[in-house]
């Protein structure tokens, strides 16, 4: 047990302490609801039997890890228990941690793909109320602070106040917003935005879109129209289509991800409000069931609380207490 957690800690030692702390703070509710319950189960049931597996299954499902993912995880744990001849439940915790990292880590690159030179276009999709506009604003702040030239496109021309909300973010971070009047054709806004980005020598164009109701085919068709306009003006664009999901909605977020993933060419996911839910296990369910990389997570309200997702940081933050305990044992 000690060696696994030491390896996990060492593997993220090069990452900044501030990022590590953000993950720890942002996952406090999930850690309390999920990991502490697992630890209590292991302490109370020292023997690994069917009753143990059933309780563990219940805890995982309760944390919104997802039924299919939980079944897979329990099956894999059973195999490892037999293979390693594990009898003491305490020895299972690092195995669970390893499996969680394995489910979260995929072949895909978790970083947002940007062109090394020229214009990069990132399109944001998702239903209303998930935090799309806030995510765009925070990402604009991140890129601008890195010295990149950023432009925003107000493609949500339907929701009352959407254009104004994006403008507020633009003013806050010092980035221009390309817009038209409310009710305008979103594809026309995107065309204007791409032309402006080219003329101004912009590095990154971040595009907002209306909150799509995934069962409305006409809105999905409109999204495809936006996609075609961008692609025609910038070959290879959009370079990312990021689906923004509200982590507090749990399994509903998974349903949205499945429908959007099928219809809108999503390349990655953004999970907002992860700090506001005890069901952070939804990250594992979405990553495992959709095979789409989680690229960004919202861990708080502050401007720099939007963080690139890192599977090891995520698991390290969840099992922070146990890692500290293992270090004390080692000493």
Does 273 appear as a known binding residue?
A: yes
Q: Is 261 within any annotated ligand binding site?
A: no
Decide which of 3.40.50.920, 3.30.56.10, 3.30.750.24, 3.40.50.300 is the CATH code for 120-310: 3.40.50.300
Residue 126 annotated as part of some ligand binding site: yes
Considering only residues 328 and 52, tell me which one the structure prediction assigns the higher pLDDT: 52
Task: Give residue-wise pLDDT tens across range 20-73.
Answer: 778 888 888 888 878 888 888 988 888 899 999 999 999 988 888 888 889 999
288 known ligand binder = no
Burial pattern 73-102, b for ≥16 Cβ within 10 A else e, equals bbebbeebbeeeeeeebebbbbbbbbbbbe
Is the pLDDT at 230 greater than 80, yes or no?
yes
Residues recorded for the chain: 331
Q: Which has more confidence, 119 or 279?
A: 119
* pLDDT, position 45: 86
Contact status, residue 312 vs residue 18, Cβ threshold 8 Å = no
pLDDT at 1 over 60: no
151 pairs with which residues across the strands?
A: 176, 205
pTM of the model: 0.85
317 is in an annotated binding site: no
Domain with CATH 1.20.120.140 in the chain: 2-108+315-330
281 assigned to a ligand binding site: no
175-200 pLDDT, tens digit per residue, is: 999 999 999 999 999 999 999 999 99
**Residue 99: what pLDDT?**
85
> Which residue would you say has higher pLDDT here, 94 or 235?
235
Q: Does 81 count as an annotated binding residue?
A: no
166 known ligand binder: no
The pLDDT value given to residue 28: 86
- Do the annotations mark residue 137 as ligand-binding? no
* Residue 130 annotated in ligand binding: yes
Q: Which residues belong to CATH 3.40.50.300 in the chain? A: 120-310
Specify the CATH architecture of the domain 2-108+315-330.
Up-down Bundle (1.20)
Q: What is the pLDDT of residues 280-308, one digit of tens each?
A: 888 888 888 888 888 999 988 888 889 99
Q: Is 272 annotated as a binding residue?
A: yes
109 is in an annotated binding site: no
Q: Was 275 annotated as part of a binding site?
A: yes
Query: From CA 113, how far away is CA 115, in angstroms rounded?
Result: 7
């Amino acid at each position: 047990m000690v060696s696994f957690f030491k390896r996990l800690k060492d593997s993220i030692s090069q990452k900044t302490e501030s990022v590590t702390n953000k993950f720890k703070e942002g996952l406090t509710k999930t850690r309390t609801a999920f990991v502490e319950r697992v630890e209590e189960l292991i302490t109370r049931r020292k023997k690994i039997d069917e009753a143990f597996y059933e309780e563990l299954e219940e805890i995982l499902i309760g944390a919104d890890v997802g039924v299919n993912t939980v079944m897979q995880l329990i099956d894999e744990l059973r195999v490892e228990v037999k293979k390693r001849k594990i009898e003491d439940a305490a020895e299972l915790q690092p195995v669970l941690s390893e499996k969680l990292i394995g489910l979260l880590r995929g072949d895909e690159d978790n970083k947002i793909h940007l062109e090394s030179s020229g214009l990069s276009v990132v399109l944001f999709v998702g239903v209303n109320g998930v935090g799309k506009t806030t995510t765009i604003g925070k990402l604009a702040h991140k890129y601008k602070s890195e010295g990149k030239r950023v432009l925003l496109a107000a493609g949500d021309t339907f929701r009352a106040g959407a254009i104004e909300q994006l403008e507020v973010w633009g003013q806050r971070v010092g980035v221009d917003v390309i817009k038209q009047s409310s009710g305008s054709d979103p594809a026309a806004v995107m065309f204007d935005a791409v032309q402006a980005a080219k003329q101004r020598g912009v590095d990154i164009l971040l595009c907002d879109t209306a909150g799509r109701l995934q069962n409305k085919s006409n809105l999905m068709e409109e999204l495809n129209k936006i996609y075609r306009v961008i692609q025609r003006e910038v070959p290879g664009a959009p370079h990312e289509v990021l689906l923004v999901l509200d982590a507090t909605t749990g399994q509903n977020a998974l349903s949205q991800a499945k429908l959007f993933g099928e219809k809108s060419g999503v390349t990655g996911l953004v999970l907002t409000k992860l700090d506001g839910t005890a069901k952070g296990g939804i990250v594992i369910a979405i990553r495992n069931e959709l095979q789409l990389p989680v690229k960004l997570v919202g861990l708080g309200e502050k401007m720099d609380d939007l963080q690139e997702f890192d599977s090891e940081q995520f698991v390290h933050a969840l099992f922070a207490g146990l890692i500290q305990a293992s270090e004390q044992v080692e000493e």
